[in-house]
Amino acid sequence: MIKKVLLALTLFSTLSFGAERNLEEDYIQKMYNDLNLNQKVEYTIFRKAYKGYMQIPDKREGLLTIVDYTKPSNVERFFVLDLNKRKIAYSTYVTHGKNSGLTSALNFSNNKNSYMSSLGFYMTNDSYVGSNGYSLRLKGLEAGINSNALSRNIVVHGADYAEPDFIEKYGFLGRSEGCPAIPTTISRDVIDSIKDRTVLFIIGNDRHYYEKSSYASL
């Protein structure tokens, strides 16, 4: 009798977990559809970004930024998502590090002076005015992946080589020393929107990242 009860409880627990998991997946899929991301960000990328976002403590809720380095620099790949209003707040171009690749980011590093982009989850910090103008500090949240972001001065800033007319002239954006630089024409508005503890996720074609990440492997 006891064995039957234990078996029934185990079966119930398994079914409940499966149902809960399906509800979560349905919710994420609906969020993706409501945001109209199908022409912007692949569902698998959004899913990883959102599931990681949900695990990060002490964040300012409601905004999630995705930088999609699986795409080349001549298409928009910087997306600020308003999760409360379920809309894309900003969709624009973004540079990658000059040693990460030419038109596409292929190589990534957490090392100082690598001039490469770093993948993973970040928390936005404060804004400031520096050598690149109005900028936004980023704190890397993943040890060994992007944890040197602050000491490397990896920041969001505006750049003329991130403007669409640079693409018209050269076919791709200019490159940075590792920073995700965006068009100067909207950089202040974007920075003011996402500064102070919002989550930013940078994704690229690097399977080793998924092996090391404690967030994106979920």
Please, which pLDDT band fits residue 9 given cuts at 50, 70 and 90? low
pLDDT (average), residues 40-62: 97
Q: State yes or no: pLDDT of 16 exceeds 70.
A: no
pLDDT (average), residues 141-145: 97
**CA-based torsion, 195, 199, 202, 206: positive or negative:** positive
Whole-number Å distance between alpha carbons of 11 and 15: 6
Strand partners, 65: 80, 200
pLDDT of residue 131: 96
Whole-number Å distance between alpha carbons of 22 and 11: 16
Please, which pLDDT band fits residue 22 given cuts at 50, 70 and 90? confident
Whole-number Å distance between alpha carbons of 53 and 61: 9
pLDDT (average), residues 137-154: 98
Please, which pLDDT band fits residue 23 given cuts at 50, 70 and 90? confident
Q: What is the pTM of this model?
A: 0.90
